Amino acid sequence: ELKVEQNPLFLSMQEGKNYTIYCNYSTTSDRLYWYRQDPGKSLESLFVLLSNGAVKQEGRLMASLDTKARLSTLHITAAVHDLSATYFCAVGAGTYKYIFGTGTRLKVLA
Amino acid sequence: NAGVTQTPKFRVLKTGQSMTLLCAQDMNHEYMYWYRQDPGMGLRLIHYSVGEGTTAKGEVPDGYNVSRLKKQNFLLGLESAAPSQTSVYFCASGPWITEAFFGQGTRLTVV
């Protein structure tokens, strides 16, 4: 059974700093997704990673996937307040399902 | 462009009552999902469907039933609501391998 773990669960950081969120999963998968959720809102897709070594970047966020290590990272560069949200990774389980991590609540302090 | 629409957005039920949550998507997606979100537990898959007329169990299916009679609609039913089913419910749909698109959520409280 696929298990997905994220760390840290909570992250408070200063504006302008860099940090990385980690997503580990327990069984083989070649699909990994990152989502953002603002309080009381739905989930917004950020990145789709479909192969080993995949790297995607959008603004101050960069995501990568290492399928051999069963690890994905979401790197934040020079954080700004607007990045405050909860970030989820989701891993493809079998052909049709996505299993989510518990989320990382990020707060960027001015 | 509506995307994924959930109805209702809020609901309060008494223990033992039943209700149906409706999810409608206009993107012609094959796959549809129901998740529940609880504090500190991320999103957990309740049931999913890989096409019209098909359904399958997810991680936490007990106490819920689903139906996919039409490709664009995925219904989630609670036959006899319990306080443990108080949660935010999200519906999602997806074409194939690419990311799932989520609805706005239904906040359900069972008292």
Tell me what pLDDT residue A19 has: 95
Task: Kindly identify which residue of chain A lies nearest to residue B49, measuring between CA atoms.
Answer: A96
**B25 Cβ under 8 Å from any chain A Cβ:** no
- What the block records as the tokens of A105 is 């609540």
Tell me what pLDDT residue B98 has: 72
DSSP string, A32-97: EEEEEE-TTS-EEEEEEE-STT-EEEETTEEEEEETTTTEEEEEE-S--GGG-EEEEEEEEETTTE
Model confidence at A92, pLDDT cuts 50, 70, 90, reads confident
Tell me what pLDDT residue A62 has: 98
Task: Kindly identify which residue of chain B lies nearest to residue A34, measuring between CA atoms.
Answer: B99
Model confidence at A97, pLDDT cuts 50, 70, 90, reads confident
Tell me what pLDDT residue A47 has: 94
**B35 Cβ under 8 Å from any chain A Cβ:** yes
CA gap A46, B99 in Å, rounded: 9
Tell me what pLDDT residue B96 has: 63
- Please list the ranges in chain B whose pLDDT falls under 70: 1, 96-97
pLDDT at A77 over 80: yes
Which residue from B59, B92, B98 is facing A48, i.e. has the nearest CB?
Answer: B98
Tell me what pLDDT residue B20 has: 97
Tell me what pLDDT residue B99 has: 77
pLDDT at A93 over 90: no
Chain A residues within an 8 Å CB radius of B48: 96-97
Tell me what pLDDT residue B97 has: 61
A5, A24 Cβ separation under 8 angstroms: yes
Interchain proximity B33–A98, CB inside 8 Å = yes
Residues of B (73-92) whose Cβ lies below 8 Å from A: 90, 92
pLDDT at A90 over 80: yes
Which residue from B42, B98, B104 is facing A100, i.e. has the nearest CB?
Answer: B42
Label residue B106 exposed, middle or buried (CB < 10 Å: 0-12, 13-18, 19+).
buried
pLDDT at A105 over 90: yes
Interchain proximity A98–B40, CB inside 8 Å = no
Q: pLDDT, tens digit, for every residue of A5-53?
A: 999 999 999 999 999 999 999 998 878 999 999 998 999 999 999 888 9
